[in-house]
Chain A
Amino acid sequence: MPRPHHHTPARRDAAILRLRRINRGLVAVAVAGTAVLTEVAAQAFPGHTIKRTAGSTTLASSSGTTTTVHHRTRHHKAKAKTVAPLQAPATAPTASPSSSSASSPSSSSASSPSSSSSSASSSSSTDGSTSTQQSAPVQQSAPVQQAPVEQAPVQQAPAPVQVTPAPVVSGGS
């Protein structure tokens, strides 16, 4: 006895619809899985560069002027980092007379600190100079003693002294 034929067009269309839905789901799962695996691999292996997220490092300039530097990761994805350029000083160094403290033996203690603290000394104090070219953060006059006339040659009142810390030494370290 022949078997009844149940495959109607309606049943066929319904089956095709189900297959379409299944295929769409599979594609969505595959895409999401690929993204997850990619992120896991990026975090797990060396070569992952600085993230560009809100909580991550950026090297943007705070001065407004930036230099854009392009480089590549191992994944050959070009990234751009903005790095603040080296800033020139507001004013360039100026010359100072070579005689200013440079030859004072006592000044070396200020620039070569020993284990004890407060080792500075005044170079200007050794010669009693009143030069106006000295770099004096604080200019104070020394106490003046009134000397008797008879003793003037040995107790002469000192000239006003400008307090000048010795130059700070900038050298290799």
Chain B
Amino acid sequence: MLATIYSAATADRLCAGWEALGTGVVLQVTDPGALGPARAAVERELLAIDSAASRFRADSDLERCNRAGGRRLDVSPLLVEALEAAIRAAVLTDGAVDPTLGDALILAGYTSDWRRFDAAPADPSTHQPAQLVVRARPARAWEAIDLHRDPPSARFGGGVRVDLGATAKALAADRAARAAADIAGGGILVSLGGDIATAGTSPESGWLVRVTDDHRAGADAPGQTVRIASGGLATSSTTVRRWVHGGRSMHHILDPRDGQPVARTWRTASVAAATCIDANIASTAAIVLGSAAAGWLTDRNLPARLVAHDGRIETIGDWPAEESGL
């Protein structure tokens, strides 16, 4: 009994959880004394990314650019970094991860912070997406994003509306983990809505990660537990952030080719990479690419775990084999 109490108290000093950026944040440290300064560093990074890149804040740099009508605006260096990361994602995935889907997301009804969404989500088993009317976008629309680093400024040409939801969160996780490790030392793990970044000296046996459909689920949810020693791990899924719009079931991963919610082979994709943002880019791309994802991930030596809509599991590369089905 005493051991239980003592152990639980010590674990509390190694881990903290709270809400930010419309999702859950988990911070783990290897040194109990590091939790306070590490959390402060993470919170500073999250505030900065929210101020720079949130689509749901009228005063964010991103929204000012979205409303600027094609004019160039001075922005924070962090938004330039976030936009560069998003453009890189678009280039590397040949547009499967596209930051210019802001209008399509609004048409799909994704118009506010997820925390303010309808409390009654749609039935995740409904895989037929709605037919949306989406404004025509030019191919490779991200090329209309014009950036300067010094002085930092941005201009969104071609009438595009940018949404950085796919990459900004992962970028924030990477930045927060690095900042926390720099300040607090030791090993740091930061999870933003299930997008996991690590920094510093990891535990001897690695960080434990439970891979499942929904980051809000408990560690006993159906899935697989793995260990990571460094880098990042991200999971994208069509089973979460679902809502009803116009009487139809929606989710937040849109196919850039038609602006509709993706309903291809995979419902959930988990990818490990050197950084959280690389893992996030690959996991999102895997959902959009569908049956082509396995080959795409293999070509890039990215270990991954893909879950089909019928529960079938496919592991890619060096991802450990499943002990039991999902």
Q: Which residues of A contact B (CB under 8 A)?
A: 45-51, 55-57, 59, 67, 69, 71, 73, 81, 83-98, 100-105, 107-126, 128, 133-138, 140, 142-143, 145, 158-173
Cβ A55 vs Cβ B16 within 8 A: no
The answer to whether B7 and A163 touch across the interface, beta carbons within 8 angstroms, is: yes
Take A90-B230, A91-B230, A136-B203 as given contacts and tell me if A165 and B15 are in contact as well, using a CB distance cutoff of 8 Å.
yes
Q: Is B263 an interface residue (CB 8 A)?
A: no
Task: Establish whether residues B70 and A89, one from each chain, have CB atoms under 8 Å apart when the complex forms.
Answer: no
Is there an interface contact between A86 and B2, defined as CB atoms closer than 8 Å? no
1/0 contact trace for B200-224 toward A, CB 8 Å? Answer: 0001111111111111111111011
Extra contacts, 15 of them, besides A136-B204, A159-B3 (Cβ < 8 A), are A59-B87, A87-B273, A89-B273, A93-B318, A94-B227, A95-B321, A95-B323, A108-B218, A112-B218, A136-B205, A168-B28, A170-B210, A171-B213, A171-B214, A173-B241
Residues in A neighbouring B100, C-beta threshold 8 A: none
Give complex CA distance A145, B3 in Å: 10
Main secondary structure of the interface of B (DSSP, over half): mixed
Q: Tally inter-chain residue pairs, CB-CB below 8 A.
A: 341
**Residue of B at shortest CB range from A139?**
B204
Name B's A-contacting residues (CB within 8 A).
Answer: 1-4, 6-8, 10-12, 14-19, 23-26, 28-32, 39, 70, 80, 84, 87-88, 91-92, 140, 143-144, 146-151, 157-159, 169, 187, 189, 191-196, 203-221, 223-241, 268, 270, 272-275, 278, 281-282, 300-303, 317-321, 323-324
- B21's closest neighbor in chain A, by CB? A173
The answer to whether A57 touches B217, judged by C-beta atoms less than 8 angstroms apart, is no
In the assembled complex, the CB of B267 is this many whole angstroms from the nearest CB of chain A, namely 9
Q: Is the CB of B233 within 8 A of A92?
A: no
Residues of A within 8 A of B226 (CB): 93-96
> Does B213 contact A118, Cβ atoms closer than 8 Å?
no
Indicate if the CB atoms of B14 and A172 lie closer than 8 Å: no
Q: Within 8 Å CB of B195, what residues of A? A: 170, 173
Residues of B within 8 A of A114 (CB): 17, 19
Shortest beta-carbon distance from A108 to chain B in Å:
3
What residues of chain B lie closer than 8 Å to A102, measured between beta carbons?
210, 219-220, 225
